[in-house]
């Protein structure tokens, strides 16, 4: 059974074994490792994907924003929890054909573990920015709690 002909490129935040497994299942999939892009900048990854007409699959919010600016198709992979290698392969295998269909009319896809949403570049950019702001607030709250916990601990020593 032929697989969808969406050409995928997996950024380094997704295991290169996922791309290899999908290739074995009939997908046209590359990764930073298989394309000698390990450690390269997001701009270089985008240039490769654009040259080879590949949709970038990434968890990297910075790369998603760069793709939006360049108007390059992207799948922003956002599992709710840390996915195992096998779970990632199943997710991508299950949704690959749907991505192809979605990207005919949409600019980008936000992919969770069990759902996918077709979005415009502006919609995904807004979601990424909201996510980044929430992450910054959570980190600031953790640092504040750690400092207050340390102060409380220090006061107990007096």
Instruction: Profile the chain (158 residues) by mean pLDDT over runs of 10 residues.
Output: 72 89 90 94 97 94 96 89 74 83 91 88 95 93 85 55
Which pLDDT score is estimated for 1?
Answer: 44
CA end-to-end span of the chain, whole Å?
Answer: 73
pLDDT of residue 55: 95
Cβ atoms within 10 Å, residue 38 = 11
Domain boundaries defined on the chain: 7-122
Q: What is the pTM of this model?
A: 0.82
Query: How much is the pLDDT for 14?
Result: 87
Residues β-bridged to residue 31: 10
Residues 70, 157: Cα–Cα separation, whole Å: 56
CATH fold for the domain made of 7-122: Rossmann fold (3.40.50)
Q: Which pLDDT value is given to residue 148?
A: 83
Q: Where are the alpha helices (DSSP H) in the chain?
A: 16-24, 42-51, 61-70, 85-105, 121-156
Going 99 to 105 to 111 to 113, the CA torsion angle's sign is negative
Contact between residue 128 and residue 61 where contact means Cβ atoms under 8 Å apart: yes
pLDDT at 154: 54
Q: What is the pLDDT of residue 151?
A: 63
Per-residue model confidence (pLDDT) at position 33 = 94
**Which pLDDT value is given to residue 157?**
53
Return the pLDDT at 150: 66
């Amino acid at each position: 059974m032929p697989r969808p002909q969406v050409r995928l490129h997996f950024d380094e935040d997704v295991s290169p074994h996922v791309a290899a497994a999908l290739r074995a299942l009939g997908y046209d999939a590359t990764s930073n490792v298989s394309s000698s892009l390990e450690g390269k900048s997001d701009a270089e990854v985008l240039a490769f994907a654009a040259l080879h007409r590949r949709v970038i699959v990434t968890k990297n919010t910075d790369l998603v924003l760069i793709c939006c600016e360049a108007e390059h198709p992207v799948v922003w992979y956002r599992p709710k929890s840390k996915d195992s290698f096998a779970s990632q392969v199943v997710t991508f295998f299950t949704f690959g054909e749907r991505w192809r269909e979605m990207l005919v009319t949409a600019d980008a896809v936000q992919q969770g573990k069990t759902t996918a949403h077709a979005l415009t570049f502006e919609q995904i950019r807004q979601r990424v920015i909201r996510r980044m702001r929430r992450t910054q607030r959570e980190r600031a709250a953790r640092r504040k709690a750690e400092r207050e916990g340390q102060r409380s601990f220090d006061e107990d020593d007096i």
